[in-house]
Chains A and B, each alone.
Chain A
Amino acid sequence: DGGITQSPKYLFRKEGQNVTLSCEQNLNHDAMYWYRQDPGQGLRLIYYSQIVNDFQKGDIAEGYSVSREKKESFPLTVTSAQKNPTAFYLCATTATGRGAAHTDTQYFGPGTRLTVL
């Protein structure tokens, strides 16, 4: 069954803790993205990666970190430096990456809801 999986679906964090959100895909897509969604604000880009071992900051990268050691995995760590991490986090992929002739279509995982206690 092909697709994008995110785990866990719900995550609770205490103040001062780092937490890692998982994103895995078996679509063989090159590019992967992390977005944060808050009510009334749409989607804001945190980080994206167009090839393995390379990633770029998005619009709201402060307090977050990522890695891209494998093509199929792009985990997001929410660090204690992120002051307001409660949000819905979405992972997405596109088939094409850097150097592609055109932008492809973006596909989304089911999301992880992070709540700070």
Chain B
Amino acid sequence: AQSVTQPDIHITVSEGASLELRCNYSYGATPYLFWYVQSPGQGLQLLLKYFSGDTLVQGIKGFEAEFKRSQSSFNLRKPSVHWSDAAEYFCAVGAPNFNKFYFGSGTKLNVKP
């Protein structure tokens, strides 16, 4: 069965520090992979996506993610966090040819001044 795991429920980092949010998935083939960000009371905004090709993908707001097939992971990174990055982040898997999506339970990011 397909599943997405985000092992960290809450993460706190200092402004200017680097960030890595973890995502592991379970899927029978190579899925399509996504990271979204959600501010309180808002919808989800797409940060980046991986379909194929280069396993390091760049997204908006200075975020990047790396697909590691051997580890079934798609971790999100940012070299220097800004206070405005405080939000909840969701990893998602898309099932090719079925047009369905599976979401992790989210990681809430707090940024200390």
Contacts and interface: CB of A to CB of B under 8 A. Distances in A.
Contacts of A16: none
B34 A106 contact: yes
Contacts of B94: 103, 105-106
B43 A105 contact: no
Given A90-B44, A108-B43, A111-B41, A43 B96 contact: no
B103 interface: yes
A113 B42 CA distance: 10
A34 interface: no
B92 A106 contact: yes
Contacts of B90: 42-43
A98 B106 contact: no
Interface in A7-61: 31, 33, 35, 40-43, 45, 48, 50
Interface string A88-117: 101010101110111111111111010000
A45 B100 CA distance: 9
Contact of A102 (B32, B34, B36, B104): B32
A40 B34 contact: no
Interface size range of chain B in the complex: 20 to 34
A106 B101 contact: yes
B46 interface: yes
A12 B32 CA distance: 37
Contacts of A41: 105
Interface in B12-69: 32, 34, 36, 41-46, 49, 51
Given A111-B42, A111-B43, A42 B106 contact: yes
Given A42-B90, A43-B90, A107 B99 contact: no
A41 B4 CA distance: 12
A50 B44 contact: no
Given A96-B99, A111-B43, A113-B41, 7 more contacts: A4-B43, A31-B99, A40-B105, A43-B44, A97-B99, A104-B99, A110-B43
